[in-house]
Structure 1
Amino acid sequence: MRTRPEAPELVVLGRFVDGEVAPHANAWERAEEIPGDVRARVGELGLWAPFLPVESGGAGMDMVTLGRVHEEVGRGCSSLRSLLTVHTMVTATVHRWGDDEQRERWLPALATGETLGAFCLTDPDFSGSDATAAGTVAVADHGSWTLTGRKKWITGGQRAGLLLVFADTATGMSAFLVPADHPGVRVTPVRHMLGTTASMLATIEFDDVRLGPGALVGPPGWAAGTVMTGALDLGRYSVACGSVGIVRAALAASAAYTSQRSAGGGLLRDLPQIRAKISDMVTARDAGRLLCEKAGRLKDAGDPATIMATWVAKYFASTAAARTASDAVQIHGANGCGPDYPVARLYRDAKVMEIIEGSTQIQELTIADDAYREVAG
């Protein structure tokens, strides 16, 4: 779907995805890692934090274009897009909510990707859907803090240099910036996940980690309604856009495969059942992108309606990705279940999209609640 010429940065990115990402994504999945030289190339292309202002090391990219960037990367490899997602969440938090000293210390390295950020919210003993529950605790002591607890499913945690950690304090949920090499921080890789296996997930433990006052982001007890809400909204937006990328990849793989494979004396592409599935994929791609663009435009305008628009975009795009990837596997038959085609990986990654950054069921409750409020109002 092209209603206008692509921005130059998207053209360059498309070539990067076609030449250096998509052909290797299956191998990265098996290795369970995005290679360091690929992460460096992302930095060379200025993709780690292009939304930052130029004076902070970014390109001043608008949110609609940022969404297209994450869509394009998601088309090639959801694991790499996941790294961009959490890095965006951390970097945007430092830029928006950090003080001058925190921004000066962290933004230059975050902007280039020299330091990768990880978003540490989920505690293993609580439901990941309950973002307000945190078994990790930070205790104040004469201006300093002692951080104790454990976080799991931390995307990029194996390679991150900066951890944005959410912890309970005496006054409520608070956010802290913790260097990953700080004494008392222990990182354990999480292996053999269903999907996005190259996103280098980790369990991160904090054993009486002593932090100075400069680690706290904003006032104590302030994070739940501000830092966490804003960061999760950006993460949800990235996942929505990345899900559109999965739909695009499934569509491209299915169209190519059915144009080459024959059945019953003709090409698969000529079968009515195949053409119906391809039509559904095209519709899902276009509708998903339009919903993401709406959410992005509202973000650019500073309109709070972007929160619900992002929920809707993520709900639609993630469920569409799961459905489309499943159809792509079906179209490929036995080949779709093997390692020689990308659709099995797309299928596994798409299932993850229905869970992360707000599960499908949580989204159904949230969107319905908003609809009832609108009617009652």
Structure 2
Amino acid sequence: MTTPIAAPPAPPSGALPTIDRASARAFAEEFITPVADVYDRAGAVPEEIQERIGERGLWAPFLPTRHGGRDLDMVTLGAVHEEMGRACSSVRSLLTVHTMLAWALMRWGSAEQIERWAPDVATGRVRGAFCLSEPGAGSDAAGIGTNVRPHKGGWLLNGRKKWITGGSRADLYLVFARNESSIVALLVPRTAPGVGVTPIDDMLGTRASLIAEIDFTDVELGPDALLGPSSFASGMVLSGTLDLGRYSVACGSVGIIQACLEACAHYTTHRTVGGSRLRDLALIRAKLSDMVTDVRAARLLCERAGELKDAEDPATLMATWVAKYFASTAAARHSSEAVQVHGANGMSTDYPVARLYRDAKVMEIIEGSNEIQRITIADEAFREVAQ
């Protein structure tokens, strides 16, 4: 079952192409969906498609037009990320981490930092990655071991980050490190001496998202590397940048459910058992009806979180937690059902549902595991009752 989306109108000569759900769907259908399984097997999103993403203005369209962006609202950004997740979670993951860096730069960067980096970040000429997770600590900000100290009027950075999406390709890293009194955020160019990049291959899901381990060995940085006040970075991790990443993952999870629904509707229409189409079996219809219900519910939760972001309402934080929890668990559940519907074919590379199944598992872990989300959502319930 494919959600009807009108084809985007052709832009006037010389005009920038429209960015909305329809144009994102059209772009994905032409350039990503047909080769997503190829990317998955190769373990990389090719440079060519990353450049096409830049040509379409999809790397950071929410940035202001004066800095090369398109002033895209958050609801529409969520729809774009849903469509990318429907096509390929690895591509959507690259957009997610780039979005996190771009948003942090615009939110907390100095005028000089924004002038230096924003135009190239907006177009994708400079691609970003988000460096929080570490070996042994994961994304627990309290467990950060990477350290930074004042050095020659600037900073000296040492440490190691792991599971860094886009890390193998990124030009600019948003790195979180511990100084004498707090956690700070730093903009670290890949070309800085002492930065080492080791690709991580053969992941379970999002296999093409160019994941890497990043080592920082006596990396000397100027004073302009610090992003925002040093005492505010930990708050940014908890309530700002990670919130936007969580929103993207939630929307991408909706895309996974939609892709599972469409794959199952197509497969069961053409597959017969005992002379009857699979789609005519009651249990098959029950599975698809659950997919329809959950994809619509998850999409509405994401849209609500996006609306609150556009309104700059702090309630967006909890709305995003709820959207991400619901959408990611539903994606995992329905991708499992999609494999079941496809039978042995679902475990092969001949059909996309095997990739969707593996990618969906990742969604339950990244940007806040489902266990952490359940604790956080329950805490909100107790706060509401106590008022």
Question: Does 1:25 find its partner at 2:36?
Answer: yes
Tell me the residue number matched to 2:118: 107
Identify the match of residue 181 of structure 2 among 171, 177, 183.
171
AA aligned to 1:255 is: A
AA aligned to 1:62 is: D
Tell me the residue number matched to 1:121: 132
Q: Is the 2:7–2:23 contact (alpha carbons within 8 Å) kept by the matching residues of 1?
A: no
Distance 1:228 1:290 in 2: 24
Tell me the residue number matched to 1:84: 95
List runs of 5+ in structure 2 lacking aligned partners. 9-17
SS at match of 2:230: coil
Question: Does 1:289 find its partner at 2:333?
Answer: no
**TM-fit CA distance, 1:309:** 0.2
Identify the match of residue 195 of structure 1 among 193, 200, 205.
205
AA aligned to 2:257 is: V
Distance 1:6 1:372 in 2: 46
Distance 2:5 2:219 in 1: 51
Distance 2:238 2:175 in 1: 10
Q: Which runs of 4+ in 1 moved over 6 A?
A: 1-7
TM-score, structure 2 normalization? 0.95
Q: Is the 1:93–1:227 contact (alpha carbons within 8 Å) kept by the matching residues of 2?
A: no
**TM-fit CA distance, 1:18:** 1.1
**TM-fit CA distance, 1:26:** 0.6
Tell me the residue number matched to 2:107: 96
Query: 1:150-185: per-residue Cα shift (whole Å, max 9, x none)?
Result: 000000000000000000011200000000110000
Identify the match of residue 303 of structure 1 among 296, 313, 316.
313
- Give the direction of change, closer, same or farther, for the CA distance of 1:169–1:363 in structure 2 (3 Å limit): same
- Give the direction of change, closer, same or farther, for the CA distance of 1:228–1:175 in structure 2 (3 Å limit): farther
Percent of aligned positions that are identical = 60
Distance 1:276 1:77 in 2: 26
Distance 2:328 2:282 in 1: 26
Distance 2:294 2:107 in 1: 33
**TM-fit CA distance, 1:19:** 1.8
- Give the direction of change, closer, same or farther, for the CA distance of 1:310–1:3 in structure 2 (3 Å limit): farther
SS at match of 2:328: helix
Distance 2:212 2:279 in 1: 43
Distance 1:6 1:290 in 2: 22
Query: 1:198-231: per-residue Cα shift (whole Å, max 9, x none)?
Result: 0000000000111111000112232001255310
AA aligned to 1:154 is: I
Distance 2:225 2:239 in 1: 19
**TM-fit CA distance, 1:23:** 0.9
Distance 1:40 1:27 in 2: 18
Query: 1:276-299: per-residue Cα shift (whole Å, max 9, x none)?
Result: 000000011100000000000000
Q: Is the 1:174–1:216 contact (alpha carbons within 8 Å) kept by the matching residues of 2?
A: yes
> How does 1:355-374 map onto structure 2 within 5 Å?
355-374=365-384
Identify the match of residue 281 of structure 2 among 271, 278, 282.
271
Tell me the residue number matched to 2:46: 35
Q: Is the 1:166–1:173 contact (alpha carbons within 8 Å) kept by the matching residues of 2?
A: yes
Identify the match of residue 158 of structure 2 among 148, 160, 168.
148
TM-score, structure 1 normalization? 0.97
- Give the direction of change, closer, same or farther, for the CA distance of 1:218–1:247 in structure 2 (3 Å limit): same
AA aligned to 1:188 is: T
Distance 2:158 2:107 in 1: 26
SS at match of 1:187: strand
Tell me the residue number matched to 1:335: 345
Distance 1:20 1:34 in 2: 11
Tell me the residue number matched to 1:260: 270
Tell me the residue number matched to 1:220: 230
